[in-house]
Structure 1
Amino acid sequence: MFPLNRPRRLRTNQRLRDMVCETKLTLDDLIYPLFAVPGNNIAKEVISMPGIFQLSIDKIVNEAKMVRDLGIPAIILFGVPEEKNSEATGAWGKEGIVQRATEAIKREVKDLIVIVDTCVCEYTDHGHCGYLKKDDCTGEVLNDSTLELLKKTAVSQALAGADIIAPSGMMDGFVRSIREKLDQEGFSNIPILSYAAKYASGYYGPFRDAADSSPQFGDRRTYQMDPGNAREALKEVMLDIEEGADMLMVKPALSYMDILWRIKEMTNLPVAAYNVSGEYSMIKAAAANGWIDEKQVTLETLTSFKRAGADLILTYHAKDVARWIQSK
């Protein structure tokens, strides 16, 4: 009679394994990040992120069409302005790079969901996510005055045609402030995807090359979360839910799957995992050296985010993953 229970019976072939698989990665899970820059006919590869490019608006529209044709339902837009200043005017101006890119994409690729990152670090000359105290070189952002910047930015993005607003600066009260302003301006149907648990992480390095957003001094630990804190993440999430967030995000994803799990256990809202630049670049570098199988490790990693509770995954691997899923 030994062994009576044989779990291997359900692993004997691929078709059977697929039938009993508990967690499946699908095209609808994917969100692809894009970086918009001024100019024309520009496709500049980010050295620290192989296969990822800064794209002018004409090129980004073509990329959006490719993303749509691959079956990926959504993109998230980041902008790299021509000029930066202390007022972050490039973030909220009508002619801002993200606003113009959003208008162009929504005009040409109507059935693609456009999420916009609502932050100002790419647009300030100091690289921080809001207003700073005068002559302060520590990087401490003034919370409440920065909320006014974020409200202006969110409304300008909505006017440009954004489908989802995604505030990422980790300012206290940013969800409520943006929600109230959007509602006042007639955008009550636009959802907010809050970067609810965003950690002060070393995994962001390559992104700062892509978005040209490295702080000129200090760091972001006064507003982004300490990597050692889990209960604080739950507090941040509860506050954002109370303030009207429609979706929640954990960033980064790879080292924070326990946070994904805890958040999914406490809420029925959709939860997104941001598979950030450092995570992407580590896989790319290891694969380029022949140390790992890129496809296998990428699919395993993204599936693990879903298993931990993610409903959506923002990932630079999205186009490759879409091709792999479709070729099965």
Structure 2
Amino acid sequence: MDKQSLTDPMPVTTPASTFSIEPVSGSSTLRGRLPLRRFLQRQPVSPADLCMPLLVHENEDAADSVVPTVSLQRLSVEVRELRRMGIGSVKIFCGGSVRDDRACEAASPDNLMNRAIATAKEAAQDMAVMTENCLCSYTHAGNCFLTNADGVFDYEGTLTLLSEQAVQQADAGADIVGPAAMIDGVAASTRQALNQSGHRDVGIMPHVIFTSRLYDGYRRAMNAVPARGNRRAFQIHPSCPEQAVALARDFLAEGADMLLLEPALHSLDVLVSLRQAAEVPLVPFSVSGEYAELTRNGTLKPSEYRAVLLERLTMFKRAGATTIITYAAKQAAGNLEAS
């Protein structure tokens, strides 16, 4: 054997196309070959991981809304379609048709929320139904709390009414009630009321909310814009993630079973922190402003924002989400089914 034959590389006899080798000069071993990428790539999101928010109106859909809405008459059809697509849950929001200073309609057994809950459960009994447990759709001022005759926050009255509202929602068939008023003690009072009324198996998912303009589309669609003032005394400034983590821990200590974080994109650092610290379901809510940005206020076709949508959902799951609430749940589920 001569010297040249010892130094020359062995010839490659197998065509490169057999291994799907791509021109990847300098690429990582883990990413250079298509089969290896497929071997390592995860499919972290399934339709069952998604929750569709349903903004229910008494009669007609809100035609000018940037987010999808549905009438009570169409609700059962919508829920059955979501169930057929494999979507695991819905979160129901309803506007109050009757408003007064004491938000009396909030705890009425026959209000729109309770009828919507019953309709959804009848349409798909095995689908988890979440609610919003709040007063902003029932007070004249659009506030999430009650005030006394002097206009001062009525803490005890607010907790009592929110607890009554939660019990009525559970009676109607809700699987998870969602205290959204960001009031100290609301998880404890809700848990006590549910237990005393025979609903120990109904979950509580308080909202951990950052102040944001990303809720504007929802508020317009549901007529929930505060008539005066704002909710900054209750919600958390975006610069204070430590307050969100502390509040989440307080809610869990009070008996919360899971936590909702919103807006989803503004809560990623909190989601990661809580996932490392707490073994409970964590549910980011991609709110109306995020949906508007994704779809360019509804002007894009689903095929035009599909890739970004799936990337975001993957990011939320990677950060620790158990379930993701998104107005694009149907579009995402359709693409996940196809893939």
State whether TM-score is above 0.5. Answer: yes
Q: Cα deviations across residues 204-240 of structure 1 (Å, max 9, x unaligned)?
A: 0101012210000000001111111111111101111
Selected match of 1:192 from 201, 204, 219: 204
2:324 corresponds to 1:313: yes
Instruction: State the superposition RMSD in angstroms.
Output: 2.2
Corresponding residue for 2:294?
Answer: 283
How does 1:216-255 map onto structure 2 within 5 Å? 216-255=227-266
Q: Which amino acid aligns with 2:37?
A: R
| Deviation of 1:143 (Å) | 2.7
Q: Are 1:182 and 2:194 an aligned pair?
A: yes
- CA drift of 1:87 comes to 1.8
Q: Tell me, what secondary structure is at the counterpart of 2:284?
A: strand
Amino acid at match of 2:236: M
| Match in the other structure for 2:122 | 107
Structure 1 residues 32, 11: CA separation in 2 closer, same or farther (over 3 Å shift)?
A: farther
- Offset, 1:324: 0.5
Between the aligned partners of 1:175 and 1:237, the Cα distance in structure 2 is: 11
Structure with the greater alpha carbon radius of gyration: 2
CA distance in 2 between partners of 1:262 and 1:206 (Å): 29
Distance 1:242 1:6 in 2: 48
- Structure 1 contact 200–224 (Cα < 8 Å) conserved: yes
Deviation (angstroms), 1:286: 7.1
Following the alignment from structure 1 to structure 2, what is the Cα–Cα distance between the partners of residues 245 and 48? 32
Partner of 1:114, secondary structure, is strand
What residue ranges of structure 1 are gaps of 5+ in the alignment?
none
CA contact (8 A) 1:70 1:322 kept: yes
1:142 pairs, out of 154, 161, 173, with 154
Aligned to 1:7: 28
Q: What do the CA deviations read for 1:131-177 (whole angstroms, capped 9, x no partner)? A: 024353xxx74333210111010000011111111111101100000
1:122 corresponds in structure 2 to 137
Confirm or deny that 1:153 pairs with 2:168: no
> How far apart in 2 are the matches of 1:143 and 1:11?
60
Equivalent position of 1:68 in the other structure: 83
Q: Tell me what 1:209 maps to.
A: 220
Indicate which of 45, 69, 82 corresponds to 2:97. 82
Q: 1:27 aligns with which of 34, 40, 47?
A: 47
Contact 1:115–1:165, Cα closer than 8 Å, also in 2:
yes
Gapped runs of 5+ residues in structure 2? 1-23
Task: Give the percent of matched residue pairs that are identical in Structure 1 and Structure 2.
Answer: 30
The number of equivalent residue pairs is 315
Counterparts of 1:234 and 1:45, CA distance in 2: 38
Q: 2:305 aligns with which of 281, 285, 294?
A: 294
Q: CA–CA distance in 1 between the matches of 2:32 and 2:95?
A: 48
Q: Sort the Cα spacing of 1:287 and 1:208 in 2 relative to 1 into closer, same or farther, 3 A.
A: closer
The structural deviation recorded for 1:89 is: 2.2
Does the Cα contact within 8 Å between 1:46 and 1:209 map onto a contact in 2?
no
1:273 aligns with 2:284: yes
Secondary structure of 2:247 counterpart? helix
Question: Offset of 1:19 from its aligned partner?
Answer: 3.2
Aligned partners of 2:255, 2:114: CA distance in 1, in Å? Answer: 24
* 1:260 is the counterpart of 2:271: yes
Residue of structure 1 aligned with 2:66, choices 25, 48, 59: 48
Query: 1:21 offset after TM fit, Å?
Result: 2.2
The superposition leaves residues 269-312 of structure 1 with CA deviations (integer Å, 9 ceiling, x where unpaired) of 1100000100000111178369x940011111121111111111
